Chains A and B, each alone.
Chain A
Amino acid sequence: MRRYLILFLISINSVVFFHYCAVPCRYNKIKATAFVTDSLQASPVEIDTTGKLLYRSFIYTPKKSFSGLFLFKKMAGKKTRIILLSEVGLRFMEFEYSDKEIELLYCVDFLNKNNIIKTFKKNILILLSDIHMVEKKRIFSDPGSSHHIFKTKLDEVGKCYYHFTNKQMTRTIYGSLFNKTYMEYSDYNKNNIPRKIEISYTLIDLGFSLKLIDNKNVVE
């Protein structure tokens, strides 16, 4: 009986360990290759020449869920403004992103809490940072397969893994061994913008879901 219990605990530990690993084992065994990074998508959200993107957003917590709008607006230089709005049009939060740095410009009182702001900042950094500009990058690539993983480092986020399939970003994973954040990108439009972005956490019961409002008449 005791032997079965030990075996059971060992098997549970193995499952947990592999589940929390950001990079599949088989990728770790492959040497970094001279893959041409320029042909890959640079960041999860690459704002096109119109300079505006609007996402419908949903935030899920154990007790409540909230909805709203997320606006990305390219500004002069390399700056981007990111604004969280209510459906009625009230501005709740505003950030400015510029060259791997992010600053909070405005936050309504009821959202002005350190952990909320930190979470938003990290997610926005991942969404907008250009992987070609991020230092300490290393490529894990499986020859003969269309899957590639980049290991990068961002100051405020730490180690970060960008997953690609057919040169298109599908997933970003960051965080510590037991507390990871998963950001999934899917359903790309013709401008290479993901229509769907899902963010989830292994330890925190919190989730974000962004859906692109792909109608040019909505944002002028």
Chain B
Amino acid sequence: MFHVMNNKNLTLLILLLCYFFSAFAQEDNFKRVAEEEEVGSILNQKAKKIQTITSDFIQKKHMDYLTVTIKSKGSFWFKKENYLRWEYKEPFLYKIVIKNGKIFIANEENNSEFNIKGNKIFREVNNIIVSAVKGEILTNEKYKTSVLENTEYYLIKLIPKEMDGDNIIKEMHMFFNKDNMQISKIKMVETSDNYTIITFINRKINAPIPDTIFNINQ
């Protein structure tokens, strides 16, 4: 097709394609926030009032180069200081509980237990989630952060300062709803540009959560 085009048309086509892709890269017209510290301070203030979070989530794993999206659903519980339960219910069963410096995992077949210090991936995931819930995400020393906004969300982009062979996640995007400054969705971009979007729904703040929820066998 290209060999029949003259140079002028080809340049125009390339410019149009560049515009098209750069528009997508902007993630729905997000613009850089001038006063990032102010956003950090609001997040911190809001987070101080949070004792517990209960929420459902929908996860979509996008592999655009394969035209494949994998959907899963589950629930999430957080209790201050560091109690976390992340549970997939459909289409598979998979539970992760993080408490007292340990990670407990259960699936349809068996249970396992790890020390959080010995597992880099879980240590990082726990670090990010706990920082986000505590409103300390912008002061996390392990990531370069930038704050963007559109009419609906503040978008905090996290890029690891040190990338080594074990780094699977290239960027983490956290979308905070401007109305209540609560996290609405998380986008994890992999080094291959595959990405996963986790959207939180049916969220309850400071509803009582019994400690038994953080028992993996529950």
Contacts and interface: CB of A to CB of B under 8 A. Distances in A.
Contact of B61 (A56, A89, A110): A89
Given A89-B61, A213-B91, A213-B92, A219 B68 contact: yes
Given A67-B107, A109-B166, A91 B194 contact: yes
Contacts of A69: 70, 92
Interface stretch (A80-88, A150-158, A188-196, A197-205): A80-88
Interface string A83-122: 1010111110000000000000010111000000000000
A218 interface: yes
Contacts of B150: none
A220 B69 contact: yes
Interface residues of B, number: 30
B72 interface: yes
A89 B94 contact: no
A88 B194 CA distance: 13
A215 interface: yes
A131 interface: no
B94 A65 contact: no
Contacts of B165: 109
Contacts, number: 78
Contacts of B196: 88-90
A87 B109 contact: no
A182 to B, nearest CB: 19
A31 to B, nearest CB: 44
B168 A90 contact: yes
Given A65-B109, A213-B92, A85 B61 contact: yes
B112 interface: yes
B26 interface: no
Max chain A Cβ within 10 angstroms of own Cβ: one of B88, B90, B194: B194
Contacts of A78: none
B63 to A, nearest CB: 7
A67 B95 CA distance: 11
Contacts of A39: none
Given A89-B188, A213-B92, A218 B194 contact: no
A171 to B, nearest CB: 22
B25 interface: no
Interface in A132-172: none
Nearest to B168: A90
Nearest to A52: B68
15 contacts: A56-B91, A58-B108, A83-B66, A88-B188, A89-B196, A90-B121, A90-B190, A91-B194, A213-B91, A213-B92, A215-B91, A218-B71, A218-B91, A219-B69, A220-B70
